[in-house]
Amino acid sequence: MAATGRPHAVITGASSGIGAAFAARLAADGYDLTLVARRRDRLDGLAAKPAENGPRTVEVHVADLTDPGGLRSAEDLIAATPNLQLLVNNAGFAGYGPFTALNPAVASALIGVHVTAPTRLTRAALPAMTGRGHGAVINIASLLAFSGSLPPGPLPFGATYAAAKAYLVTFTCALAGELAATGVRVQACCPGPVATEFLHGTGIDPARLPITPMDPGDVVTASLTALDLGETVCIPGLGDPAAIEDYHAAARQLVQARGPALASRYLTTAVPHTQAEPPARRPTDHARPGKSPAPAG
Ligand code: NDP
């Protein structure tokens, strides 16, 4: 790939939705682009759009990121991209449904596209970025990353999806600590429902959602502004970012429980753990139905 002197961004899942919105915005901002996804016709259509603000190079890389060969090809491309300033790990799909009915192959694909691919592509991008002392990685997570204590309904059944997105948040936050002195920024962007093709094939009718989905362009505006603000976790619809610090503070409190002493309640087990009837669930174990927010993507 020839160097042009312009900054370069690689966007996965660029053939529609949030990824296509990133492509349009970054092209207008003066980036050369590499667009990654499986649907060549979509990518070629986007790449053929005339540049509005001066010359741009837009390249297309067709790859299935759940396929080992496809992932390796994207890693090689990223490692060889001159002046790579921004990697947007955005590709994904919902795979919603009760876990006990989830096709194991779909579970693997969810983990492949939302966990393995962003991890490996970030690993491929960072050495050159840290070597230059600037650059950024945006991982598109989801508000569902924070939904583990909420039951399904109205939230979708999506334990694997939510856990994969939670991985992205923890991965990004931990990486931000590692990279603090390097000049390279990382961000986990956590939108709620967004008006894209994401829900196609899930059986969920976007028109029947109790809330209006966000425009994908607004997600991009939030994410790029959050990079400038230095936010590691970007929640596009969250008014007061202090809630994110509260969340981190609660997590830090849990991490304090790492001494050698066993908590007293574990020393007084009253019933054998093999009993058929589990003990009654305490109110703090899980939020009660009816208290949950509207569906999040
Ligand atoms: P879209 O369905 O519009 O876009 C998904 C993109 O991912 C497409 O470009 C698709 O391209 C690509 N993709 C999917 N699977 C693969 C694969 N195996 N290999 C390569 N590319 C793949 O949905 P969104 O734009 O909404 O989704 C983008 C991201 O945003 C996802 O990670 C999603 O989890 C997240 N998100 C979405 C929300 C929503 O409500 N829409 C809310 C919160 C987060 P192709 O099919 O051509 O391969």
* Whole-number average pLDDT of the chain: 91
- Give residue 285's pLDDT: 47
pLDDT range class, residue 279, cuts 50, 70, 90:
low
The H or E element spanning position 58 is strand 58-62
Position 278 pLDDT exceeds 80: no
Do the beta carbons of residue 37 and residue 12 sit within 8 Å?
A: yes
User: Is 191 close to ligand 1, i.e. is its CB under 6 Å away?
Assistant: yes
What value does the mean pLDDT take over residues 37-53?
91
Number of domains in the chain: 1
CA of 19 to the centre of ligand 1 (A): 7
Report if residue 106 sits inside a domain. yes
Nearest to 142 by CA among 205, 74, 182, 196: 196
For 85-112, the pLDDT digits (tens) are 999 999 999 999 999 999 999 999 999 9
Position 290 pLDDT exceeds 70: no
Question: DSSP class of residue 115?
Answer: I
User: Is 135 close to ligand 1, i.e. is its CB under 6 Å away?
Assistant: no
User: Is 297 close to ligand 1, i.e. is its CB under 6 Å away?
Assistant: yes
- Give residue 139's pLDDT: 99
Report if residue 12 sits inside a domain. yes
Catalytically active residues are: 161
pLDDT range class, residue 268, cuts 50, 70, 90:
confident
CA of 200 to the centre of ligand 1 (A): 11
> Whole-structure pTM over 0.85, yes or no?
yes
Do the beta carbons of residue 112 and residue 69 sit within 8 Å?
A: no
Report if residue 264 sits inside a domain. no
Report if residue 278 sits inside a domain. no
Q: Which of 11, 12, 38, 96 to mutate to test the pocket of ligand 1 (most atoms within 8 A of CB)?
A: 38
| Whole-angstrom distance, CA of residue 249 vs CA of residue 260 | 22
User: Is 142 close to ligand 1, i.e. is its CB under 6 Å away?
Assistant: yes
Q: What is the identity of the amino acid at 122?
A: T
CA of 217 to the centre of ligand 1 (A): 14
- Give residue 284's pLDDT: 46
Report if residue 281 sits inside a domain. no
CA of 63 to the centre of ligand 1 (A): 13
For 142-190, the pLDDT digits (tens) are 999 999 999 888 888 999 999 999 999 999 999 999 999 999 999 999 9
Residue span of the structural domain in which 88 resides: 8-255
Can you give the CATH number for the domain in which 51 is found? 3.40.50.720
Nearest to 89 by CA among 126, 117, 128: 117
Residue 26 is encoded by which pair of tokens?
A: 């970054």
Provide the sign of the torsion angle of the four alpha carbons 80, 83, 85, 88, taken in this order: negative
Determine the 3-state secondary structure of 137 from DSSP.
strand
Q: What is the identity of the amino acid at 277?
A: E
Which residue in this structure is represented by tokens 């596009």? 236
User: Is 172 close to ligand 1, i.e. is its CB under 6 Å away?
Assistant: no
- Give residue 51's pLDDT: 75
User: Is 202 close to ligand 1, i.e. is its CB under 6 Å away?
Assistant: no
